[in-house]
Amino acid sequence: LGWAIVDTPGANLHCTSPDGRVYVGWLPEDPGSWHRGIVWRAQVRPTDAAAWTQEFGVHTPSEAVAGFLAALVANPTR
């Protein structure tokens, strides 16, 4: 749906929404994230509020991350 998707030679995947306000990363090979046990990162920069980040660890089921992202996309004004 218009998201920019970039995959790296290190197997990381970066996705940015068309308006640039939402970023989702799959970061299994990112040293800074992996060191902390993080493999998923979602960052949101609302137009009317402070930016926030949600991170998910190596033991988080992918279905839970998918559910979180589905809720995020279904409620774009929140």
Full residue range of the structural domain in which residue 67 is found = 4-74
> pLDDT tens digits, residue range 24-64?
999 998 888 878 999 999 999 988 889 999 999 999 999 99
Backbone φ and ψ for 69, nearest 5 degrees, come out as: -65, -35
The reported pTM is: 0.84
Smallest CA-to-CA distance from 57 within 18, 28, 31 is with 28
Determine contact, residues 1/17, Cβ cutoff 8 Å.
no
Q: How far apart are CA 22 and CA 27, in angstroms?
A: 16
Domain count along the chain: 1
